[in-house]
Amino acid sequence: MRTEALLELLQPGTDPDVAAAYASYGERARDAVFGFEDEIAFLDVETTGFDPGRDEIIEVAAVVAKGPEIRARFSTLVRPERPVPLEIAELTGIDDAMLADAPRVDEALAGVAELVGDRDVVAHNAIFDRTFTEAAGWKHPRGEAAWLDSLDLARIALPRMRSHRQTDLARAFGLLVEPVHRAVGDVETLARLWRVLLVALDDLPPGALAGVLGLFTGSGDSLARVLAHVAAARPQTSFDLKRLRQERLRAERPSTLKDAREAEIASLSVDEIAAEFDAAGAVGRMYADYERRAEQVEMARAVTEALNEGRHLAVEAGTGVGKSVAYLVPAARFALENSVPVGVATKTNALMDQLLYRELPALAREMPRLRYVGLKGYEHYLCLRKFRRLIGAGGPAEAEARAVAAMLVSWVASTSWGDLDAVNVHWRQDIRRAVAASAPECTKKRCPYNAVCYIHGQRRRARDAHVVVTNHSLLFRDAVSGNQILPPIRHWVVDEAHGAEAEAREQLSNAVSSSACTSSLSALSTRGRGGLLESVRAQLDAGDDARARADALIALVHEATTIAESFFSELKEIVVPGEYGREAERITARERAEGPWSRAAAVGWSLVKRLDRLLAEGAAVVTALEAAEDDSELKADLVGQLTALADAREALVLILEGDDERFVHVVRSERRGESVEVTVESLLYDVGEALAELFYPEVMSVIYTSATIAAGDDFSHFEHAVGLDRLPDGSYTTLRLASSYDFDRQMTVYVPTGIAPPRSSRYLEDLERVLFDVHVAMGGSVLTLFTNTKDMRTLYGTLAERLRSEGLRLIVQSRGTSAKRVADEFIADEQLSLFATKSFWEGFDAKGDTLRCVVVVRLPFAQPTDPLMEARKERERSVWWDRYYLPEAIIELKQAAGRLIRSSTDTGCLVLADSRLSTDVPYARRFLSALPVSDVERVPVERLRETIAARFGKGC
């Protein structure tokens, strides 16, 4: 039986038969019998942190089981040498008082050793438990070979899950044993989960299981024993990747849609579209609790008119309008009536998923002929040709790559259509690049997997779809490519349009990064480790001219690698990354004439010359291979890497020359662990001008929509950003729709008075007071948004313990932790509060009591030293503030305010803790009037706590 938890954890778009199979595993695991099962141990530890050299075990638990029967148990708390950190105590509920009389770790592990004996030991993320127990003095008598990692097995057995954390899987299958995040409960949960994994593994198609086993055979990996046992109990079937895909695919229908430019377009009745939003209409039938919203109908009418007239439209639709359905209904009807495609481009994967797996399926039930498809760029899809080469001849030797390859085999067996973003692994760049499709490497119809290809199959489906859902990136990349990627779609909806300019700039700009450049070079050849060219050379006859050229090319690659390392090393002298985030420096005429950039540029030109020779020699090798009628996959891969280097060379020349005034040239650096990533970029200055030239001539209508694209009532900033103001008069219209929510009733905006301005030495002290008072008044459920990571970390350090003493828990968005994990933790606990930065200013959705207060600590003006903003100030002295700086900050503040009220029943307060809003600065009124409330309360900081508590406190 499917549970809500399982449905939430399944990847969107999971095939129905796969979803049904997953739903059966919990029940089947209770009665399943596996002939190979012997007694096995399960182990879990809780620790004071993640570093076994510094942190300590504070609880350990183990059980011994045979099949579903638990035969023995052992658990104990463990007294550490140092106090338990606050965050661990909050997570586990284990504090110093509980551990005062607990045994030391050697005594505890003696109990583990006695229980486990020489049995196999299962742990979830086993390297963690094994490393800690070994560091504390207990090593299994059979060493590493005895440890089985249920996390690795879960990824293979359940590839369609969004998370493979033990707690998430246990909830999905109804296996959870309390207490959670305690070894004593988690180890019992693990014993139950193990049986679900065995059932799921046994359920893999025979060919898939053979493919997975082939990767582990001879590897020395302890999971090979489990895989071999399961496979031995089934009929033997060989692994065939193409057959695996064919068995999973559905029949496709031929394309019947037309190019709208060549079709006779029939206009829709605006009144008929509006009627679909009545209770008896399509939208009314789609949702059980549907309520007609006047703003949604008005937007649907405007979208219908724009499609009918071939006109562009910009719509700001406030929270609660239901804009996605407002544009989908007329877009789908327009596509169906005229047999033409309509495209929808979004900024985020979350909205793509919402459209593809919630709104469009519901709409298709009311419009049965409607076909829809999601489409991303090449690099998002698995290349079966590259993947087959990776897993051939026993697969990759490295354990991490082998684990990913094994998961991908089972993922292919259970995924008709999908992309690599839905594979729940933390991708290492080189591994993803080894299996991801790319345009230069694609052999198209010459590929043996073309008929079952993920990317080309999805593109074929897109040519037959009435609604094609894609992302901003692919839409604008298609425009840059001369419309060589997407089907001929002449009518577009661009949702989340506040991000359109930034993504268009990304696609219209040029960049060379240290990691991408060195990766392409090392893929060709790396001293002592071989590479693509060594494989090419091995296929050529000794004495052959092509082989001599390959030898020369290898030498050039090594020389280019040395120069590239020197070039990027020089760049690191220009921009040194700080402790937080990225740093950037604009390359001005002055920098070009003197200083570090002039030295780096000299090395850069040397790199360009070496790349010129490398590319010429590489082209000769490709020609020689063609002359020898060598159609090997190596040739396609060689062309792909050379193309990537050619693109890097062109970008590098543009940056080094620096005389194209359409671009702003920048050096960026970012600290990634122990290494520093350096990138040189040429950012397109005027995106609107480029879109007016490349994009609009190829389309008939574009509907831009977002909750925040106007600065107050003014669309001029957005019109300029996307080039609408460069079009002839009458080409577009704008529409601003208020929210369907009653913001004056649901939301209050407070501006504390009497606090120091951001540049004051007293600023952080005053801000600490404001934040403490707000959190205590609200009793938790507060999201505080920062523009400065250093300030955020400083204030977290001073406030977390103070708030804990008030019974309130605070977490912080930290480097190295995914925003999704932080968001999930925040949403799961209604009283939890969060300090966060940029990724939480927009797109974060937490309804109800989970989020009752948003604090914005500083107005979100861009950094004055931002290279693009610097260039705008320099080039447009009289208008840069009003055209860019102020409206972008206003829109950003509106995004932050939009996090608070996410449903008609939500209530809460927005606290704007920037003293400039309580002064007479001219722009203060523009910020406040852009908010969706008619009044703002200015409250002396001394009365802030009592004022908020009186209206929003937990007792109210």
Active site members = 181
Number of neighbours of residue 394 by Cβ within 10 angstroms: 13
Full 3-state SS string of 485-514: CCCCCCEEEECCHHHHHHHHHHHHCEEEEH
Of 859, 889, 871, whose CA–CA distance to 717 is shortest? 889
Cα(692)–Cα(731) distance, integer angstroms:
12
The token pair at 390 is 């990776």
* H helical segments located in 741-843: 743-746, 763-778, 789-804, 819-828
In DSSP terms, 470 is beta-bridged to 345
* 587, 639, 903, 932 from 740: Cα distances, Å: 47, 54, 10, 11
Distance CA(105)–CA(82), nearest Å, equals: 13
Number of Cβ within a 10 Å radius of residue 675: 10
Distance spanning both ends of the chain, measured CA to CA: 41
Q: Please give the single-letter amino acid code of residue 730.
A: G
**Do 782 and 855 touch, CB atoms closer than 8 A?**
yes
Tell how many helices (H) and how many strands (E) occur in the chain.
41, 23
Extended beta strands in 7-87, E state: 40-47, 57-66, 69-77
Query: 16: part of which helix (H) or strand (E)?
Result: helix 16-31
Question: Could you give the maximum distance between any two Cα atoms of the chain, in Å?
Answer: 88
Q: Which alpha helices (DSSP H) does 349-398 contain, by range?
A: 349-354, 360-366, 384-391
Task: Give backbone dihedrals phi and psi of 776, rounded to 5 degrees, phi first.
Answer: -65, -40
| Alpha-carbon distances of 888 from 148, 319, 703, 878, rounded to whole Å | 52, 19, 21, 17
Tokens representing 851 are 């989020």
The bridge status of strand 342-346 relative to strand 701-706 is unpaired
Task: Go through 801-823 and write b for each residue having 16 or more CB atoms within 10 A of its CB, e for each that does not.
Answer: eebeeeebbbbbbeeeeeeeebb
- Can you read off the two tokens belonging to residue 265? 């377009």
Distance CA 186, CA 194 (A): 12
Residues 8, 168: Cα–Cα separation, whole Å? 10
Crossing angle of helices 241-248 and 384-391, in 10° steps, is 140
What is the number of other CB atoms lying within 10 angstroms of the CB of residue 565?
A: 16
The SS3 assignment for 768 reads helix
Residue 583 makes CB contacts below 8 A (sequence gap 6+) with 575, 576, 577, 668, 669, 670
CA 550 and chain centroid, separation = 39
Tokens representing residue 730 in the block: 């009458």
Pair 493, 705: CB distance under 8 Å: yes
Residue recorded with tokens 């100030």? 873
Residues near 588 by beta carbon (within 8 Å), at least 6 away in sequence: none
**574 HSE (CA, 13 A, CB side):** 28
Where in 819-901 does DSSP place strands (E)? Answer: 833-836, 853-856
CB 722 within 8 A of CB 691: yes
Cis peptide before 728 (omega within 30 of 0): no
- Tokens 């900033």 found at: 717
